Structure 1
């Protein structure tokens, strides 16, 4: 039998049980080992996600890892038994952006596992075989559940093009920020500074490879100091403040999810400082491959970010913990 959490509508969910789904042509059936919960999953449960980016009823879960149990026609049968993760965006693969490799900019319409298709808050999930990224036979599937946010950060790091010996700042020490610190530390920066107001998260940043940790107020004393600034907080003021931290001719990458009313970037400062500003939403296939390679090589270890694990039966409790304000809460997993 196979269980799945189903959110019928905002605030209403149930745990259903039935026969395991059957993969169709081009698909793979994966037994879920672990699935991460993020703020977007909380938005789905509370009905705060943009209606264009969710389809009820839905089984959430877009950050996950597992083992391939079966494949449909046209998928390599050698994948059965392999540990794996998979891309979430169900891209068309034929539009101009997909063919250029920018799969996170697919113009075929939004379609994503865990939002518009059944996700991994379940014993099993079915995904297109072309989206699988197989892992090493001894991969830690608990830690691998965080490879989805790691792929987003990998996209940001690649967009920022860090070079050895540079001065780099990471704004925010949440999941994305701490993963960014691990990636960026591998480039050998001269300075790697994390800007974070929460003391507990700041302390964790140091163990992940940050050379220095500043509060936002302390960071105000370093305008124009950094070659590269990777923003991960998504707070109302952090897009604008990140640009002020960058040196003239520097680079800024925005990965936080901003809400309406956030402080805008000063166009005069942007123009006179000749900044390069990039943004990231989701992860293209190349960023997924980058993250999986770093994980396999031991350069990326998301495991220490995990603080809580729950069974499927405690989904409601787990989702309320995420974004609840407890400074001791890091990454929360469901373990089917």
Structure 2
């Protein structure tokens, strides 16, 4: 619940606070009030990802976290308070009732004034990096206050557990929009973590002739077969008609989602001459680079994705609302807010049985 009585009847809320690398606490304070143009959302569920682990470990790149911080950038909830004069227009251009609506929201706090924002590339905002859960308070809390302009409304019957994964789904949607998949193409996805399995679902909706999922964890690779992949294998397994591979011909489109040391390089090697590669994983320093000779001779088109602009969020929310995207099977663990330490330990622990971990306030 988002409001808990304090002494004297004043509502209070809990939040996980990371004061610095390896230091976290459960804080209790007064319930935040939304200002003009803002809403307060009761958090139903919030997902933990590798980026949150980076915040906890202190390995996130400089400038992309500000301590102390309440993390939590993957979440879904219900609007429980609306600030004065706050209006969000519905599909017909008329004001929409926000109170009680199920919602998710964009994380980037784009300025909407710079050249990049004005051309629609809000994830490339030139005013500096600001994001919910990294430099602004996030959703590992009972409630969250944020600008209403960032909201995306969900159907009244939406599963808020599954909707908590719409943030990574929006990142994948940005990759798919950049990739421009075409029916009948041969497509490969490198990595079958959260991003990879969501990518498989969205790419399967474009009717590829073949959709390969590659992951060193055989169990995770095979999970992609239940989500639309036609083949699954581990890196280096033999190609051929026995089901472990797909032949020697390159792929029209390769979507990289793992961010491992070699996967950018491997994705380009997997693409056919003249093929397309989209990189969505977050690479650490020292990752193997792309061979510029191979890039030039093969005439590859390589795109990268960091976060998601508004158009990608809208795409992901529509796919979720129509049933083309179902993140629920990716959830393997749900823990209370008080178990943050246990939850962050599960993420990045290397156990292939651990999928998406949710915190439930």
Please indicate, yes or no, whether the TM-score normalized by the shorter chain is above 0.5: yes
Residue deviations 1:163-187 (CA, integer Å, cap 9, x gap): 0000000011110000000000001
Alignment equivalent of 1:267, drawn from 292, 297, 305 = 292
Partner of 1:98: 117
Question: What is the CA distance between 1:151 and its match in structure 2?
Answer: 0.2
Partner of 1:10: 21
3-state SS of 2:45 partner: strand
Alignment equivalent of 2:204, drawn from 172, 185, 188 = 185
- Structure 2: where are the runs of 5+ without partners? 1-11, 88-95, 240-244
State the aligned residue count: 336
CA contact (8 A) 1:307 1:329 kept: yes
Residue deviations 1:250-275 (CA, integer Å, cap 9, x gap): 10000011111111111111111111
Which is worse superposed, 65-74 or 146-155? 65-74
CA contact (8 A) 1:223 1:245 kept: no
Question: What is the CA distance between 1:26 and its match in structure 2?
Answer: 1.1
Runs of 4+ in 1 over 6 A off after TM superposition: none
* CA distance in structure 1 between the aligned counterparts of 2:250 and 2:65, rounded to whole angstroms: 40
2:264 is aligned with 1:253: no
CA contact (8 A) 1:224 1:244 kept: no
Alignment equivalent of 2:81, drawn from 70, 85, 99 = 70
Question: What is the CA distance between 1:73 and its match in structure 2?
Answer: 2.3
Partner of 1:278: 303
Residue deviations 1:159-213 (CA, integer Å, cap 9, x gap): 0000000000001111000000000000110000011111110121110110001
Partner of 1:324: 349
Write out aligned runs for 1:133-172 (5 A): 133-172=152-191
Q: What CA RMSD, in Å, does the superposition of the two structures yield over aligned residues?
A: 1.2
Question: What is the CA distance between 1:224 and its match in structure 2?
Answer: 4.9
* CA distance in structure 2 between the aligned counterparts of 1:215 and 1:59, rounded to whole angstroms: 37
3-state SS of 1:314 partner: helix
2:330 is aligned with 1:305: yes
* CA distance in structure 2 between the aligned counterparts of 1:142 and 1:286, rounded to whole angstroms: 23
Question: What is the CA distance between 1:29 and its match in structure 2?
Answer: 0.4
In the superposition, the TM-score normalised over structure 2's length comes to 0.91
3-state SS of 1:36 partner: strand
* CA distance in structure 2 between the aligned counterparts of 1:116 and 1:202, rounded to whole angstroms: 34
* CA distance in structure 1 between the aligned counterparts of 2:20 and 2:84, rounded to whole angstroms: 34
Partner of 1:201: 220
* CA distance in structure 2 between the aligned counterparts of 1:266 and 1:46, rounded to whole angstroms: 31
CA contact (8 A) 1:223 1:244 kept: no
* CA distance in structure 1 between the aligned counterparts of 2:359 and 2:135, rounded to whole angstroms: 20
In the superposition, the TM-score normalised over structure 1's length comes to 0.98
Which is worse superposed, 276-285 or 48-57? 48-57
